[in-house]
Structure 1
Amino acid sequence: MRRPSLVTLGVTALAVVASTVTPLASAPAPASAAVTTPVLSVSSTHEAGYPRGRQHAGVGSSASISAATLTGGVTMTGTESKAGAGDSVTVSVQPPQGQRLAIGRYSIDSRVQDATRARVEMSVGSLSEGFVGDVEVLDLAADATGKLTRFDIVFRNGTESPAYAYFGQLRLGQAGDTGAVLSATTVQYPGTPIGSVPTSATETIFNTSTAPLSVGTAAVTTGSTTDFRISDDTCSNTTLAAGARCTFKIGFVPTKAGPRQGIVTVRVGATTKQISLAGSAPLGTTGITYKGDDYVSGGTTHSFPDGSFTTVLGSNASDGYSFVPLRPYGLDTGADTTRVDVVRYGGGPLAIGTFDTSEDTGPAPDSTAKYGLAVRGSGRGCGSYTGKLTVSAFDVDSAGVLTSARMSWTLRCTFSDGTMTGSLNWRNRADKAAPRAVTSLGVAAAASGTRTATWRASTSTDNRETFVRLVPGTVKGATPTSGLPVTVTSTTSARLPALITGKRYTLVAWSVDTAGNLGPRVALPVTG
């Protein structure tokens, strides 16, 4: 079954990701290097049988650059999939009109025609893809003409769900991209619920040298080792011939709500390679259940719990809210035909209470209902609905984006007998309060030249850990996936990774409570 894209569903692109439970001071820092090798990696959670579902990797001649300037951005094409079969992928990252590409994070929504926002254009074979997600420029350098001489760009299309997602990395001129080259050195996963099938990045090791290289064991050696799994490994404990490649998958299976992270290491030849991993599990409880003797239910109970599925949110307060349960890799088995649409006529968030409902497209003639509700599933739907909706919880943030909801209903098709009862949870939880912030964030330098970040942990009684990142440039737009991992720990210090001399960074820390809530962001400028 061909499934709609995230853009068709209108899924919003907001995510907070990345964490672990042990120090990550061994994570590599980007560095200036006289390396000109382009590298591309794209992982997909579309159906494996379609071009969109193929995994792509390219190094050197198999990762061509058609544009790389400060004003025009970066356009790169991978000429073949990781399986070695056709269907090239092209990713183009463009700065806001009239601006230069810069280090930092950009929120992307190709549905919005706004020249003040960065854009990403993506195609797989002849198929053009909408892009709703984010891009982070980790490293960037240009010559006097504005031509890029070095870049490291990480992207995710579909930040909120592991279904229909693309995520990957574009690189040029990065240290370590000689000899044995990794297709990805940083992986930022789409949001994945606890209990989901693994959301997997396919990692490729290319031997670009003229001699064979021995490959050690690929393993998650730092961070939350239970949240990331190595599988389908053709690399570990082998010898990679000159010009050859091998692959393994890194699956994300979160065990706790909120941010998660880790590092994969693998020794190739005389060098230990590292891959930084970051992802998150949605907070609270999410799921849809409906049943009844009505036409849509068909006398069957339909249940879509989080983990087995991920319920994505579309639309907004003006147009109404849509909830659709999905699974990655084409594993929906009909779930993608289920959809709950609820709207407050005239716009705005739903109020708490019990309300008469009419059609989701507007009230039926002679109806006095102020709300619309429709439930469709298993290829069935009604042209006209009537019912009652009980909203027990409905919270939005300062931008009007839904953060949690709980509702239930009774519903009838006006043209047939039978009644449906149902319920919906969207990230519903008792604890919605952020923990108190980390304090006294600082950096101490040792005589050896190493630097150590120090802080005081949150004083909240439910504080779980402190999460620390080192972000290139300023803190603007930084989230717990940004930049380089430093640590997530219950202690109060961690050694910083190596920094590029003279380069500006920002040390950023968050407190994380037992429910996965993030505390206020605390930042400190640092110069390499």
Structure 2
Amino acid sequence: MQRIARSAALGAAVLLTAGLVGTIGAGPAEAATPTGGVLQILSPHYSDRGTPQFADGSNVQRYLSDTTRGIDARMTVSSTSSASFILTPPDDKPLTTGVYRLVGQQPYGAKVPTLAINGEYLYGEFDIVDIASDPKNGTITRFDGVVPGVGEFRFGEDAAASVVFGARNVVFAKTFIGLPKTVQVETVHNTGTAAVALGTPAVVGVNASSFSVSGSTCKTTLAAGATCSFRVGFAPMAPGPATAAVSMKVGATTRSVPLTGSAFLGTTGITSSGKGIVDQGKTTKVTAANTAMTVVSGVSGWTFNADRLDGSGSALNIRLTSPNSRPLPVGTTKTTVSGDYSLVDTVNSSGCDSNGTVTVKQFINDPVTGLPDTVDMSFTQYCDNGEKYPQTGTLQWQARADVTAPAAPTSVAVSATSPRKVTWKASASKDAKSVVARLVQGSGANATPQSGTPLTVTGTSAAVPSVPTGQQYTVALFAVDATGNVSKAAVVRFGTAPVTVMTPGRPTITSTTNGTGSATVAFTAPASDGGLPITSYVLSTMYGSYTVSGTSSPLTLTGLPSGNNMVRVTAVNAAGNGAASYTVPISPK
């Protein structure tokens, strides 16, 4: 499958995504561009990052929505603002529900979906909360995707002439205790023909103190066609996962929007001190409470960075390298400019290649992301310019005495009929203090305490809400200890996984025979028919519009001019044209 690539720079108000549509194979025939859906995001694009955007109804156009090509939706936010949501499946696989870790743009060989919102390719967790497709042709009929800290896009889920909430799931990016609260915006739109009474939005639930509602423009009545909004904030009070909900009276019913967040654990900070060109006789100390601290992977290592909260740039960062990005060994290790292990300490953009030692107390990598999960170390470095003054300092990232996760709950069971209830036995770990329960569509693979939607836990049970039929669901349970360490997931599943179809795979051309004004091409069928019968094959030239179709190999092109050309074969089923074979040369006489 050919990947979607960004084809042009973005204008201030118009997102040039039209050029992307023609880069992928044809899917199910559509008489007109379908409309409808709901977008509630904070724009991730660098030009307007953090700007709230909401669109729904006819302001959402879906240019693509099938399991093979993915989703290309464009939204009119206002007369001067637009948005886009472009989701591409992994190569040679259909778009399905799941918890994914996005890795940005992937031109070829993609193993996970690629997501661009407003032209910005995203990294990190992405949760397809809900998806349903037509088993006859792969057309996506229902979709709901959530990016923590960015927002949600969905379609096929909201009833016509109803009160629409922009986000059905508000999920915050992981943050540190002590930082200013992070904020997302919730929009309420009355798409009906009559005014509706509204209550005051309020936060309820087990971790309600970590969330807040402010800045509401919603009055006691919302007129037909009108919108109002309020801000939802997250400032964690304790380490680890947090869940709550915004409750709001709408007419005679009470609507609830789940809230999910998570706080980093332990102690995080960097210190650097010295008399040389880097520290200039000063001691610099940053913590997770007074800077925006991040860790990102690099070539054979990682960069720990602390940006000032006023946006004026980096105050301090540490760049570490180790063989194949393996954790640094506990104890004292030599670091050199060109050796297996190296460290560069940069203060206020001033740094130098250096040699020295690091003394490591803790260094544990996350098995899923490969990023450091727990670091506690000190260092002594000398600039590689002959300078005699040492740089000394410390690096801590979620450093803590207790790094052992509690045991997961056991004996998890779910009732066979609706209304369903999930039950379990508590964790055997004495320090386990709570349980996080999440309802995830699909197998639950890679589920985290932020995935899917939260269930309200009462003792050792939780009620499971009604869900659409024809789908598989997983309840994932996580035990959490006092430090915030989270257990592995204990899961139970119910329902049946749906049949997901897509276009056929890639045929293989096995031989060509050149004739006078003709070329006969033999080929083998693709390894996968996409779950639907292959109805035809199309043989075409790379140069000139010469095509022929048939139901089997070989196929012969006629009326060709003499000379060199290239040909390819494409298999077709009800979902559309599959990936073309690799091209081979022909030379008609």
CA drift at 1:242: 2.5
1:497 corresponds to: 465
Deviation at 1:219, TM superposition (A): 1.0
AA aligned opposite 1:387: G
Contact 1:265 1:272 in 2 (8 A): yes
The RMSD of aligned alpha carbons is: 2.6
TM-score, normalised to structure 1's length?
Answer: 0.80
453 and 344 in structure 1: CA distance in 2 versus 1, 3 angstrom threshold: closer
Task: Indicate if the aligned counterparts of 1:151 and 1:174 stay in contact, CA closer than 8 A.
Answer: yes
Q: Which residue of 1 aligns with 2:140?
A: 148
Q: Which secondary structure does the structure 1 equivalent of 2:101 belong to?
A: strand
Structure-2 separation of matches of 1:111 and 1:344: 26
Equivalenced residue count is 460
CA spacing shift, 1:304–1:57, aligned 2, 3 Å: same
The answer to whether the aligner puts 1:55 opposite 2:88 as a matched pair is: no
| Equivalent residue number for residue 213 of structure 1 | 196
- Counterpart in the other structure of 1:300: 282
**What is the Cα deviation at residue 493 of structure 1?**
1.8
Structure 1 residue aligned with 2:234, among 252, 255, 263?
A: 252
Deviation at 1:465, TM superposition (A): 0.9
Judge conservation of contact 2:45–2:120 (CA < 8 Å) in 1.
no
- What are the within-5 Å matches in structure 2 for residues 39-438 of structure 1? 39-44=38-43, 50-80=47-77, 84=78, 86-110=80-104, 113=107, 115-124=109-118, 128-143=119-134, 144-156=136-148, 167-176=150-159, 178-235=161-218, 237-315=219-297, 319-326=300-307, 331-336=309-314, 338-344=316-322, 348-359=326-337, 362=338, 371-382=341-352, 384-398=353-367, 400-413=370-383, 414=385, 416=387, 418-438=389-409
Q: Give the equivalent residue in structure 2 for 1:26.
A: none
When normalised by structure 2's length, the TM-score is 0.72
Asked if structure 2 preserves the Cα contact closer than 8 Å seen for 1:89 and 1:122, the reply is no
Q: Give 1:117's aligned amino acid.
A: K
Match of 1:520 among 482, 488, 496: 488
Moved more, 456-465 or 298-307: 298-307
Which residue of structure 2 aligns with residue 482 of structure 1?
451
The structure-2 alpha-carbon separation of the partners of 1:304 and 1:337, relative to structure 1 and needing over 3 Å to count, comes to closer
**Equivalents in 1 of 2:466, 2:325: separation in Å?**
51
1:39 to partner: Cα distance: 0.6
Change (3 A) 1:301 1:283: same
Q: Tell me the SS of whatever aligns to 1:226.
A: helix
State the distance in 1 between where 2:155 and 2:44 align.
Answer: 25
Which residue matches 1:456?
425
- Structure-1 separation of matches of 2:211 and 2:301: 36
Look up the equivalent residue of 2:180 and give its one-letter code: V
Match of 1:18 in 2: none
Q: Distance in 2 between matches of 1:241 and 1:115?
A: 50
Can you list the C-alpha shifts for 1:32-83, whole angstroms capped at 9, x where unaligned?
A: xxx9731111125788xx4223111111132222211111111222323xxx
The residue aligned with 2:526 is: none
Contact 2:165 2:188 in 1 (8 A): yes
Pair 1:346–1:398, CA change in 2 (3 A): closer
- Same amino acid, percent of matched pairs: 35
Shift of 1:189: 1.5
What SS does structure 2 have at the residue aligned with 1:482? coil
Q: Structure 1's 339 and 147: CA in aligned 2 closer, same or farther, altered over 3 A?
A: same
The structure whose RCO (Cα within 8 Å, separation 6+) is larger is 1
Q: Structure 1 stretch 295-304 or stretch 193-202: which is displaced more?
A: 295-304
**C-alpha distance in 1, partners of 2:238/2:113?**
33
2:442 corresponds to which letter in structure 1?
Answer: G
Counterpart secondary structure, 2:350:
coil
Q: State the distance in 2 between where 1:315 and 1:443 align.
A: 40
In the alignment, the residues of structure 2 paired with residue 224 and residue 410 of structure 1 have an alpha-carbon distance, to the nearest angstrom, of 42
* TM-superposed deviation, 1:385: 2.4
Aligned to 2:503: none
In the alignment, which residue of structure 1 is the partner of 2:522?
none
- Mapped to 2, the partners of 1:333 and 1:303 lie a distance apart of 18
CA distance in 2, matches of 1:333, 1:485: 34
Helix, strand or coil: the match of 2:259?
strand
Letter in 2 for 1:319: S
Tell me how far apart the structure 2 counterparts of residues 91 and 267 of structure 1 sit (CA, whole Å): 31
Q: Distance in 1 between matches of 2:272 and 2:72?
A: 46
Structure 2 contact 447–489 (Cα < 8 Å) conserved: no
Indicate if the aligned counterparts of 1:36 and 1:173 stay in contact, CA closer than 8 A: no
Contact 1:408 1:423 in 2 (8 A): yes
Find 1:471's aligned residue among 436, 440, 445.
440
Question: 1:229–1:313: structure 2 CA closer, same or farther, 3 Å change rule?
Answer: same
Give the aligned partner of residue 16 of structure 1: none
Aligned in 2, Cα 1:258/1:333: closer, same or farther, shift over 3 Å?
A: same
1:285-314 deviation digits (Å, cap 9, x = unpaired): 111111232222233332221133342212
Tell me how far 1:87 sits from its aligned partner.
4.2
Q: Deviations over 1:471-519 (max 9, x none)?
A: 2222222222222221345x11222222334543222212111111122
State the one-letter code of the partner of 2:84.
T
Q: Can you list the C-alpha shifts for 1:358-391, whole angstroms capped at 9, x where unaligned?
A: 33xx25xxxxxx5322111213223x42333222
Offset at residue 185 of structure 1 (A): 0.6
Distance 1:385 1:253 in 2: 38
Given candidates 413, 420, 424, the residue that maps to 1:442 is 413
Q: CA deviation at 1:135?
A: 2.1
For the residues of structure 1 that align with 2:44 and 2:286, how far apart are their CA atoms?
Answer: 19
Superposed displacement of residue 321, structure 1:
2.1
Conserved in 2, the CA contact under 8 Å of 1:42 and 1:167?
yes
State the AA in 1 paired with 2:41: V
Q: 2:115, 2:450 → 1: CA distance?
A: 22
Find the counterpart in structure 2 of residue 5 from structure 1. Answer: none
Structure 1 counterpart of 2:24: none
1:507 aligns with: 475
The letter of the residue matching 1:155 is V
